[in-house]
Each structure stands twice: as C-alpha cells, then as structure tokens.
Amino acid sequence: MKMIIQEPVQAAIWHCLNHYAYSDATFLAERLCAEDLCCCLADRRCRLTAPVSSAVQSDESVHLLATCYYRSGRPGQAHTLLHSRQPRLPAARYLLALCCFELDRLAEAESILSGGSILKPKGHDDVSGEFGDSASLALRLLARIYIRTERKAKAAEACKKSLKLNPFLWSAFVDLCNLGESVDSAKVFTTAGLDSFAMCQGPAGGGPGTEPAPQQHHAPAPHGVGHVTNVNITSTPYQTPVNALAGGALPPGCGLTVSKATPDSEKDAVRGKQALFRSQLNSTVGSPYSPSFGFLPLDTPSPGGESLPLGLLSSSPALTNNAETHDTKPGFGRRVLNRKDRAMLGLSGSSVKENNKANRLVTPKSPSRKIKTRSSKTALTTPNFNELNEKNRSERQLKSEPRGRPGSETITSAADAKPLTGQQLQVAALTIQRGSAEGLMSLLRDVGAAYQQLSQFSCRRAVDLLSALPAHQFDTGWVLSMLGKAHFELNDYKEAVRYFQMVREREPYRLETMEYYSTALWHLQREVELSALAQDLLDHGRHSAEVWCAAGNCFSLQKEHETAIRFFTRAVQVTPQFAYGHTLLGHEYVMTEELEKALTCFRRAVSIDPRHYNAWYGIGMIFYKQERYTMAEMYFKNALDINPQSSVLMCHVGVVQHNLQKTDAALLTLNRAIALDPANPLCKFHRASVFLSSERLQEALDELLQLKQMVPNESLVFFLLGKVHEKMGHAHLARMHFSWAMDLDPKGANNQLKEAIEPAISRGPGDDDKTAGEAGVLGDSSFLPADMTATPEAAEPFQPIQAMESDESL
C-alpha cells in the first residue's frame, strides 16, 4: 500500500524541485517523510519487510526532504533534520557534511566525511570507498575543510584524489593551484583513468549507493570485454548535464545523489551542455575539436545504436522541454529498472521515472546529452506526463523483457533488433562516453595549464596559453577575466582594464573578478569609469563581496575613506572567506592612519589565503610607516617570494634595503627590477634616488635624464633633478628644475617642493633677484631652455646689475 503512494509522490516532488517550486516540494516531502516513518515503524513491528529496505526507504525520504530544504536555501534546517535522523545513505551523509560546512561547523563536517574513531581516522581511500559515487565530491568537500583549517598538505592530497576520481571537478583543480602546488593539468584532465563515468554521473545503481547493485541489463550480445562490471554505467541515464542543471530527476531508489546539485558539477555540466547545444547547432558531428564535446558521435561503434538511449524520464519531458531552448530532444538516457532490480532496491512499483517501455534497458548516456542525431528527432516522441503515469501503473506487472525496443522512443536505427550483451553494451558505452568527454578534457588541459601558470604568477606564460585557446572559448567571460587578472598581476593596468571591459560587454552579470577591474581603475585614477562600474555592479548583486569591493574602491579613489571603509566592511561581512576584501579594508585603514586595525585585517587575509601576496605587502607597508625597516623588508620579501615577477615589490624591497644602509643590495634589487619590467618608471626613479643619496651624482643625473624622456610630466623627476643639480652646485639649474617641478604640480600636492625651493631661493644673494627680475617668480619655461645650457659661471655677469637695481629701489 505504501509503495503505491511513494513513487508518484516522489516523482511529484522531483518534478517540483526541477521546476524550482521549493515550497511545494518541501511540503510534499514532509508528508512523505511522515508517512514513511510511520510505515517504517509499522514494518519493523510486523517484520513484514526487510529492515534494510524500510530503512533505505525512510532514509531516502529523509534525504529527499533535506534536499528540498537545502535547495530552498536553508542549510540550517537540512542540517538539523539530517543530524537528528542520521541516515546511512552516502548521498545523505554527504549532504549533511555539506550543510555542516556551510554552517561553519567544520569539525562535525570532517567527522562525517572522514570520521572513524579518534585513534584511527579514515584515510582517503576509505572515504572514497564509503561514499561510492559521491566520493569525488566528498573528497572535494574534505579538501575544502582542510584548507579552511590550514592543513595544506592534506588538502592537496584530497584534491588530487578527488580529481583522479572525477576529472570534471574544476574547482578542485583551482584549489590545488591556489595552494601553490604545481600540478600538471595534462595528467589531471584525462579520462583514461576512469573506469566508468559513474563517478561523475550520479546515482550508482545501488540503493544505499555504496555497492552498485547488480542490475541485470538484458541487453543482448556479447562483446566480450573486460570487466565492465560497472553496472553503474548503465544506471547513468539519470544524470546528464541537464539533470544536474535542472536539479535532475533522480530516481528514488538509485542512491539519490544530490551531489549532482553541487555547483561544481553543475558548472561542468553546464559547460558541457552549452557545448552540446552549440554542437547540435553546428551539426559538426564528430568533428575533431570544435565543438568538441558535449555530444556523442553518430557513428557509434556498438551495433544497434543501443548505446544511445533516447529515453525520457518521467519528469524530464517537461523538464527538458523547459530546459532547452531549442527543440532538441532530451538527451536523457533512460534507465529502466527491471523487476529484479527494483526488488533489490526495495522498490516495489516501478519507478515513475521510467519510460513508457518498462524494463527497457538502455545504455547510459555519457555526460553529454546529445542524442543521436537530428534525424531521429521525428522518431522521438515526447511522452507526456500523463501517459507515463498510466504506463507506470501498468508497469508493475511487467516482466523484464530482454530485448527489442520500440523504435519510436529509441534511437534512429530503429530496427535494431540485434541484441548486445550487457558487457558489450557497457564497454561500448564507455568508449563512446570517453570519446565525447575527451573534447572537454582537452580543453580543460589547456585551460588548466594556463590557470596553473597564473597561480604561480608566471603571468606572461599564462597570457600566451590563454590566447592560444580556440576563439569561441577565448571569447567567454571567464577566459577574458583571467587575461585581465594576468595583466593586473603584471601591473599592466591599461591592458587589464581593456580585457575587463570586454568581459563586461559580453557578460554584464559576471561578478567574479570585478574587484580586480575596480582596483585597476583605481590605480589608473579613472574616477568616472570606476563609479559607473560600481553603480552597475550594485544593480546586479548586492550580496556579493566583489561588488562591495568595487564600491569601496570607488569612494577610496575620491578620498572618502570613511565611506570606503564602510563598504569594505560590508564586503567582508558578506563573504568572510574573501581574502581580498580584508586586504582592501586594511589598505583603507592605513590611509586613515588606523594602523592596528589595518594590521588585524591584513593578518586575517593572510590566514584565509597564505598566498595572498597583497596582504603580506600590506603588513610590510605598516612596518615601513612605523619605520621598522627590518620587519618591512622581511614582509616585502615574503610577498616577493610568492609573486617574484612584480617589479613594484622589488622596488619596495630595494628602497627598504637602502634605508637599512644595504645600498649595494638595494642597487642589485633595483637593477633586477628594471631588467624585469622596463616599463616601470619608478625603478629608475628609485635607482636615481639611491645614486643621489650615495653621492653618485653623475649617474643619478644620467638616470634622471632618461627618466625625463620616459615620463615628461612627472613633477618629482624634476624635483630630483633639481636636488641633483643643487648638490652638484648648479644652483641656477637647481632652481629651474624646482620651478619646473612646481609648474607640473598644480595642486600643490607636494609640500616638499616649497620647502626645497625656499632654501634654494634664499641662497646665493645675487642670483635670486636676477632670476626673479628677469623671469618672474616662477620659472618661465620659454626662458629656461636657453639657461639650461648656461654654466654656473654665467651667474657672474649678473652681479653688477644687481647693484644697480638695489640703487633703483631706493
């Protein structure tokens, strides 16, 4: 009796979830859970059904309810529910761990994932064994926990394991790079190591999901291939990227892998799906690279094209109809459970998920969804929901049918009556899947290599690698923003801004790297663009730390530091784990002279991300301001170790070394900086200053003259030139340069200029009156060039005239 209630209800719940009607789904799930619990207890009392299956059932409904809570954005409720019921389903435990992680209960999450006893915590292999198909994601979550708790080595290990199990988890690769590990993307992104695609395809056939239930696939015919024991393959159909995308209609008994719903897999899936559609549009079936993934090749090796299922899940028709923009057929594989399977899973009725043809065995779909071909479009009819329901009721009595399938729902090569054995089918399926995924893997290898270089701050290399990507991938927001970031790290802010502008044009909703865009604009002092950016971003997402960082940068540029601090604090509140927000807040505190608060912020940033070199730099700056140069040098060097190609950091190190009287070391560092980045005028400026203070005046002069060519508008260059001339005794030239410097500094931002000019003016009793009389108080540029060539001796002739002047004044 309860069986009949269960399946349609579960189907209804999944249907609601797939259509984002979370409140409906939650309500139904709560009712189901209660019903289940009651029956469960009843069963146990009567000992009618095996405790296992009832436990499984109630576990499933609990898991379903928890999923509903989680997807409604309430991890707290999901957590409380799962915690109290303690389900044994691995997928449910994974969900519980995920909720714990999101609620910052890291110890609890860790104990769920890799608990064991205190004396003998489980190793990663145990974890993967225990979680079955969700293993890769469980390990990924474990890695995140390790990162949060500063156990880098274990995190790296867990990430690597996770990637081995499931090379589609891009975020694991990202974390690995961000930890500073040098990872070879070619080795990571390969499907060769995969026995099956079950790991990334969701529910293993098994009920509790731990062992794959030996499902019988009555697919005919032998192909004799190795141990394709993975039944898992055949049970795949339920997950395809669309599943993941739409929250997938997962069959109840099949170890609900909510893991599919994780953003990681969704991202990969989405990408695959996009490519899929593109591929369908482009109709280059089986073409070598582009669109290289997301579809299965037409000419499948396996006979009978059984390999390409076309089934529809019950909820999927509606789903797929909605989810797709074009009218391709749903690429869902369909997996039909035969009676035996169902019995194993404890399902009595057939799943509503099943297609109208019960017990049809269909080979699994690969991660991509593409189906056979468009030619089969007509062949496919989309059974509607009612139809399926009807058929479901009748399915209970159906026996497993080994062969034949109705042409209409299946693939084109309709008349395939040739039966394949289960094994043959599986192997064939695997090969096809591998081929299809290979395209994505190849892309991921390239992209991964570029990201790896970027995380090691070999930015030029990263730029080359990224530019080598195929045009359609290159033109996406992510790639362009990575290029922007690469140029940002090279201190080439103009280029960075150019790339970020391209990103904004293509994907105005993209928030990820916008904080770097705003900082680049801050460096370039482009107020208008920055405030426009901040406004636009605020329209798009007030819940995102990057947006508040951009707003803070905007106000900081306008010198409204109090407001900037408010916004950066908001950014930090929104996402406490966002290291850059803390760094920016720290910089603002430095501007308002609240150095202790700044130090706290920088330290927090560093504890979140030890490779965040900006924060190390910030700490160094604080010590520099306090004139504790030794500490400053240490921290600047720390930052430089992380980012060795930053000429700005090198300049800082050089200056500090000079302040510590290590002039030779300073010069070495500055020389390195100039060699590394000839476009940075400050390296030369600092070198000239060092020469000046070491009394190497001629070299300083040469340096500054070169610098004058590089940046003719910089007041401080002239100021320094003035100082050099002053030391060399060319008072006239010194004064000229000082007045030039003052001309170039209309806002009077530099009080030192006036202070420097004062002594110059009051020196040499004859000279100053002369120049004033002849050229006006502030240097007259037209007059000056002629004087530039004048030697100091030219001052002599002025003397006699002065005497006359003073007579006149009387």
Partner 1 sequence: MSFSSFIDMITMLPSEAVEEYDPYKEERLGRVREVGNQAVWSLSTCKPGFGVDQLRDLSLETYWQSDGPQPHLINIQFKRKTTVQQVCIYSDFKQDESYTPNRVSIRAGTSFHDLRELEVRELSEPSGWLVFALRGADDRPLRTYHLQIAVITNHQNGRDTHMRQVRVHAPVEQRGVTVQPVGSFVSVECSQYACLR
Give the nearer residue to partner 1 in terms of CB position, either 283 or 592: 592
Q: Are 290 and 283 in contact (CB under 8 A)?
A: no
Give the nearer residue to partner 1 in terms of CB position, either 544 or 553: 553
Q: Are 725 and 737 in contact (CB under 8 A)?
A: yes
Q: Are 742 and 778 in contact (CB under 8 A)?
A: yes
CB of 746 to partner 1, least distance (A): 9
Q: Is 482 helix (H, G, I), strand (E, B) or coil?
A: helix
Give the nearer residue to partner 1 in terms of CB position, either 384 or 592: 592
Query: In sequence order, which residues have a C-beta less than 8 Å from that of residue 789 and are 6 or more positions away?
Result: none
Task: Count H helices and E strands in the chain, helices first.
Answer: 40, 0
593 binds partner 1 (CB under 8 A): yes
**What is the b/e burial string over 220-231, where b = at least 16 CB atoms within 10 angstroms of the residue's CB?**
bbebeeeebebb
614 binds partner 1 (CB under 8 A): yes
CB of 177 to partner 1, least distance (A): 21
How many C-beta neighbours within 10 Å does residue 789 have? 8
CB of 523 to partner 1, least distance (A): 4
Choosing from 46, 192, 471, 777, the residue that interacts with partner 1 (CB under 8 A) is: 777
Give the nearer residue to partner 1 in terms of CB position, either 215 or 715: 715
529 binds partner 1 (CB under 8 A): no
How many C-beta neighbours within 10 Å does residue 648 have? 17
Token pair belonging to 784: 């000056």
Spatial CA neighbour of 135 closest among 173, 85, 79, 93: 93
Give the nearer residue to partner 1 in terms of CB position, either 182 or 558: 558
> Per-residue x/- marks for partner 1, 466-505, CB under 8 A?
-------------------------x-x------------
744 binds partner 1 (CB under 8 A): yes
Taking CB under 8 A as the binding criterion, the range among 95-103, 248-256, 366-374, 621-629 that sits at the site for partner 1 is 621-629
655 binds partner 1 (CB under 8 A): yes
Taking CB under 8 A as the binding criterion, the range among 43-51, 139-147, 378-386, 557-565 that sits at the site for partner 1 is 557-565
How many C-beta neighbours within 10 Å does residue 413 have? 17
Q: How far apart are CA 320 and CA 306, in angstroms?
A: 21
558 binds partner 1 (CB under 8 A): yes
Give the nearer residue to partner 1 in terms of CB position, either 212 or 618: 618
Give the nearer residue to partner 1 in terms of CB position, either 173 or 624: 624
Look at the block and give the residue holding tokens 């200029």: 753
Q: How far apart are CA 799 and CA 104, in angstroms?
A: 81
Half-sphere exposure of 203 (CA within 13 A, CB side): 26
Taking CB under 8 A as the binding criterion, the range among 79-87, 130-138, 208-216, 585-593 that sits at the site for partner 1 is 585-593
Q: Alpha carbon 681 to chain centroid distance?
A: 34
CB of 760 to partner 1, least distance (A): 13
Give the nearer residue to partner 1 in terms of CB position, either 397 or 809: 809
Q: How far apart are CA 82 and CA 86, in angstroms?
A: 6
Give the nearer residue to partner 1 in terms of CB position, either 397 or 751: 751
Look at the block and give the residue holding tokens 């951009």: 550
Taking CB under 8 A as the binding criterion, the range among 178-186, 315-323, 567-575, 646-654 that sits at the site for partner 1 is 646-654
How many C-beta neighbours within 10 Å does residue 185 have? 23
Residue 636: which H helix or E strand, with range? helix 629-642
809 binds partner 1 (CB under 8 A): yes
Spatial CA neighbour of 57 closest among 265, 212, 189, 255: 255
Give the nearer residue to partner 1 in terms of CB position, either 86 or 592: 592
- Range 672-691, binding partner 1 (CB under 8 A): 680-682, 685-686, 689-690
Give the nearer residue to partner 1 in terms of CB position, either 56 or 683: 683
Spatial CA neighbour of 175 closest among 270, 244, 268, 264: 264
Taking CB under 8 A as the binding criterion, the range among 137-145, 183-191, 462-470, 523-531 that sits at the site for partner 1 is 523-531
Choosing from 41, 153, 772, 794, the residue that interacts with partner 1 (CB under 8 A) is: 772
Taking CB under 8 A as the binding criterion, the range among 40-48, 237-245, 339-347, 747-755 that sits at the site for partner 1 is 747-755
Taking CB under 8 A as the binding criterion, the range among 194-202, 337-345, 535-543, 650-658 that sits at the site for partner 1 is 650-658
Choosing from 112, 621, 734, 784, the residue that interacts with partner 1 (CB under 8 A) is: 621
CB of 772 to partner 1, least distance (A): 4
658 binds partner 1 (CB under 8 A): yes
Q: How far apart are CA 25 and CA 13, in angstroms?
A: 5
- Virtual torsion, Cα 751, 756, 762, 765, nearest 10 deg: -150
768 binds partner 1 (CB under 8 A): yes
535 binds partner 1 (CB under 8 A): no
Taking CB under 8 A as the binding criterion, the range among 2-10, 16-24, 119-127, 558-566 that sits at the site for partner 1 is 558-566
Q: How far apart are CA 446 and CA 439, in angstroms?
A: 11
Choosing from 561, 725, 732, 737, the residue that interacts with partner 1 (CB under 8 A) is: 561
Q: Are 645 and 679 in contact (CB under 8 A)?
A: no
Q: Are 314 and 393 in contact (CB under 8 A)?
A: no
Q: Are 371 and 363 in contact (CB under 8 A)?
A: no
CB of 563 to partner 1, least distance (A): 11
Give the nearer residue to partner 1 in terms of CB position, either 274 or 802: 802
Look at the block and give the residue holding tokens 């060319």: 730
CB of 790 to partner 1, least distance (A): 20
CB of 699 to partner 1, least distance (A): 14
CB of 593 to partner 1, least distance (A): 7
Give the nearer residue to partner 1 in terms of CB position, either 651 or 736: 651
Sign of CA dihedral 423, 428, 429, 435: positive
Choosing from 46, 749, 786, 804, the residue that interacts with partner 1 (CB under 8 A) is: 749
Choosing from 584, 704, 733, 784, the residue that interacts with partner 1 (CB under 8 A) is: 584
Amino acid at 532: A
First-to-last CA distance in the chain? 122
Give the nearer residue to partner 1 in terms of CB position, either 63 or 561: 561
CB of 147 to partner 1, least distance (A): 24
Give the nearer residue to partner 1 in terms of CB position, either 296 or 621: 621
747 binds partner 1 (CB under 8 A): yes
522 binds partner 1 (CB under 8 A): yes
Q: How far apart are CA 291 and CA 271, in angstroms?
A: 12
587 binds partner 1 (CB under 8 A): yes
Give the nearer residue to partner 1 in terms of CB position, either 126 or 768: 768
Q: Are 786 and 753 in contact (CB under 8 A)?
A: no
Q: How far apart are CA 216 and CA 415, in angstroms?
A: 23
Number of residues that bind partner 1 (CB under 8 A): 64
How many C-beta neighbours within 10 Å does residue 810 have? 4
Look at the block and give the residue holding tokens 């096809």: 432
Spatial CA neighbour of 544 closest among 504, 524, 571, 581: 571
748 binds partner 1 (CB under 8 A): yes
Spatial CA neighbour of 333 closest among 436, 258, 417, 487: 436
Which residues here bind partner 1, judged by CB under 8 A? 491, 493, 519, 522-525, 558-559, 561-562, 583-584, 587, 592-593, 614, 617, 621, 624-625, 646-649, 651-652, 655-656, 658-659, 680-682, 685-686, 689-690, 692-693, 711, 713-716, 719-720, 723, 744-745, 747-753, 768-769, 772-773, 777, 806, 809
